[in-house]
Amino acid sequence: MLTLKEEKIGALRSRVEELLVLNQHLGKELRQVKSSTGAPLPEAPGAMEQGQGNPEPVPGLRAEPESDTLSKHLIEVERSNAALLAEKEALMGRLGQLESQLGTLQGELLSLQGQSGGLREESGRLQAQCGALQVRQPV
């Protein structure tokens, strides 16, 4: 059971690392798109709370077809990024729960190992007593 929890934690850590790499890739792509257009682009929902984006729209700016395509792509990338961040947070929460559970299970394992050692000692003592009684009492 402990191994299963460790495997789950390992899988979650791998998934978090994958999400971080994807998040970095999307951020890089986002910066490239922003720098290639040179104009402010529409923001994805939640971008302002994350400290990203332009707080004021630029008046009189008309989007050209190419810039419109880039804007749509940027919006999609930012939405994808937001979804990945939410998934990352959920996975990090689950990872925390599993690590806590793993700590509890490791504590229980140590306790059981201690009990097992005590029972082995008791078994040895009882076997010695049994042997002594058999020597005293002929069969």
What H or E segment, with its residue span, contains residue 75?
A: helix 65-136
Q: How many CA atoms lie within 13 A of 27 on its CB side?
A: 12
pLDDT at 123: 96
pLDDT at 74: 87
pLDDT digit string (tens) for 119-132?
999 999 999 999 99
pLDDT at 104: 95
Integer angstrom CA distances of residue 47 from 7, 24, 104, 129: 35, 16, 39, 76
Residue 4 has pLDDT above 50, yes or no: yes
Largest CA distance in the chain: 111
pLDDT digit string (tens) for 80-111?
999 999 999 999 999 999 999 999 999 999 99
How high does pLDDT run on average in the chain?
Answer: 80
Domains of the chain, by residue range, sit at: 2-48+67-114
Mean pLDDT within 29-48: 62
pLDDT digit string (tens) for 54-87?
444 444 444 456 778 888 888 999 999 999 999 9
pLDDT at 139: 60
Mean pLDDT within 9-29: 85
